[in-house]
Amino acid sequence: MADTLRLALASRLPTAQSPPGLLGSVAVTILTLLVVYVIKFAPRDDKIIPSYEVVGMSKRDTFSEAQKRYSTSSRAILQEGLTRIRNAFQVYTPVGPVIVLPKRYTEEIKNHKQLSFAKNVEKSTFGTLPATSLMPGMAGFMFGAHRLEVMAGTARMQLTQSLGKITARLSEETAMAIDEYFPSNKGDWNNIVFYPTAVRLVSRLSALVFLGDEICRNEEWLHVSGQYAIDGIDFIRALRSWPAILQPIAQFFLPERRKICKHEKMARKIIQPVVDKRKREAMEDAKAGRPPKEYTDALQWLQDAMDKSGRKFDIVGGQLGLGLASIHTTSMALTRAIFDLCDNPEWVQPLRDEVKQVLAEDGGWKKTTLHKMKLMDSVLKESQRRNPVHFTIMTRIAEADVDLSGGVHVRKGDMITVTTTETMMDPAVFPEPERFIGDRFLKLRQIPGNENKWQYVTTSADHIGFGHGAHACPGRFFAGNELKIVLAHMLMKYDWAFAPGHDSRNIELAQDIIPNPVAELMFKERNKDNGS
């Protein structure tokens, strides 16, 4: 479309010899092309899916009113559907109508080849709008939308396989970062707004693995990688607030776009010189007959993927995409775990005892050390069970008409999902589901045959915090290791508590469940067991 517009204008632009009336002709041409562009590419979300009862939308509501209601009351709307209908129903979300399936469909849809996870990512990030793909600012989102297999493969294969090599290095960087980000006066309580600091810490550890030592302490990169997701989601929400038919044009004028353009520009300024330097090194090594220098980071993994596939893609966009997929989800998991331990301090000392014991057994930080931290693994899984990132997960778009069991028919283009709350708060599976029980999953793993079923990184139809099936979070193994290392250092070095007037209540917005980003914690340095 962009090429069509460019060619059309080139043949019609007025010159010094053009008659005055030609200006009007050009204006009409531009307007006509814009109308065609809007009609061709505008999303069509103002429809209800036939055959499924709509929950949370009355007959008098406009689609915009239904979207707003879902954004502020999604928990109640989903619970009403699950309780009253007890079968598939639909809700009208900011992305459009979505069929909500009961828990019993989780296994059936997890690997269904005609229910596309990639199409959902593309739609939720406006990846179907050509200008969104081409304009600066959305490179990280578009890498996830259009190069999902590359990003997932990098996390699933190279990142996971490298974990044993980077455990000790992650621990060293964690210790340095905690000293820097949580400065304390010994013996005194210190206050800190926890979540932004968690983002900064996770950004630094992620950068160590994704970009190597050269960039992991670069403050400009840490700001970009942490803020890009926030401002990018703000842009998507702002664009979604416009009527669907105007979105193809509105995207050009939103102020939120300028923020993400600035972040992307800075990312290229930081990363591209490193990419160019490595290319020069490889060429020099080849000329000299030397084996190329090996790098164990995502820059190299993305380059290898590009070389292997024979296709060119945006490595800077890939780095931003990896950050999008990992930094805030891991930061939220860390924040929730600390909040849960502040609410349930009886689990802190048993965790410290476990850390001390396994570090003594292994003589320091090794990959086996993390596998032995079974109570910590259980605490993280229990925290995720009670505080999933989203109310809905495993969202898919049908690429063809699909018939599921029980007479559920999904048309091509329809969106489906399942709820985390029904699954992970099921009292039949998890007695006292509202209660935080730190060793819940440790005890489940002690049942013969369950040794591996209830690990933090293991997915099932009963625990879908990371999704389930072929598209379960591919970076969950790295996230699990990272969280155990950080949590161990934090608990061994400091005592933690909520500051007066602050608590662990989440913020709920549409499908998102967000730990309070302004909640303050108090921390005090302990006199022993620094965890190093």
Is the per-residue pLDDT at 41 higher than 50? no
Quickly state the pLDDT bin for 176 (edges 50, 70, 90).
very high
Q: 425 exposed, middle or buried (CB, 10 Å; 0-12, 13-18, 19+)? A: middle
Percent of the chain past pLDDT 70, that is, above it, reads 89
Instruction: Output the pLDDT for position 169.
Output: 95
Q: Are 33 and 11 in contact (CB under 8 A)?
A: no
Mean pLDDT of 301-322: 88
Question: What is the SS3 assignment for 35?
Answer: helix
Asked if residue 261 belongs to a known ligand binding site, the reply is: no
- Find the range with the poorest average confidence among 17-21, 185-189, 219-223, 525-529: 17-21
Across the range 437-446, mean pLDDT stands at: 98
Q: What pLDDT shows up at residue 46?
A: 58
Asked if 123 and 93 count as a contact pair (C-beta separation under 8 A), the reply is no
pLDDT of residue 131: 64
Q: What is the pLDDT of residues 385-414, one digit of tens each?
A: 999 999 999 999 999 999 999 999 999 999
Chain centroid to CA 502: 26
Q: Which two tokens stand for residue 202?
A: 């996770």
- Among the residue ranges 33-42, 65-74, 241-250, 252-261, the one predicted with the least confidence is 33-42
**Which of 24-38, 191-205, 244-258, 367-381 is the least confident region?**
24-38
Summary mean pLDDT of the chain: 89
Nearest residue to 330 via CA among 180, 226, 222? 226
Interacting residues of 450 by C-beta distance below 8 A, sequence separation 6+: 444
**What predicted TM-score, i.e. pTM, was given to this entire model?**
0.89
User: Residues 125, 153, 375, 349: is their CA dihedral positive or negative?
Assistant: negative
pLDDT higher for 3 or 49? 49
> Of 351, 363, 379, nearest to 532 (Cα)?
363
Tell me phi and psi for residue 392, to 5 degrees.
-125, 155
Q: What is the 3-state secondary structure (H, E, C) of 430-485?
A: CCCCCCCCCCHHHHHHCCCCCCCCCCCCCCECCECECECCCCCCCCHHHHHHHHHH
CA angle (493, 494, 498) in 5-degree steps:
160
pLDDT at residue 5 greater than cutoff 60: no
Type of residue at 359: L
- What pLDDT does residue 8 have? 33
Question: How many residues are recorded in the chain?
Answer: 532
Q: How far is Cα 231 from Cα 267, in angstroms, rounded to an integer?
A: 14
pLDDT of 375 > 80? The answer is: yes
pLDDT at 18: 47
pLDDT above 90: residue 429: yes
Provide the token pair at 137. 């600012």
Per-residue pLDDT reduced to its tens digit, 334-359: 999 999 999 999 999 999 999 999 99
CATH superfamily of 135-389+427-461+465-525: Cytochrome P450 (1.10.630.10)
Q: Which element (helix H / strand E) includes 387?
A: none
Given this model, what pLDDT does residue 308 score?
84
* pLDDT value for 29: 54
* pLDDT, tens digit, 9 for 90 and up, residues 76-129: 999 999 999 989 999 999 999 999 999 999 999 999 999 999 999 989 988 877
Look at residue 367 in the predicted model and tell me its pLDDT.
84
Least confident piece of the model among 75-84, 314-323, 506-515, 523-532:
523-532
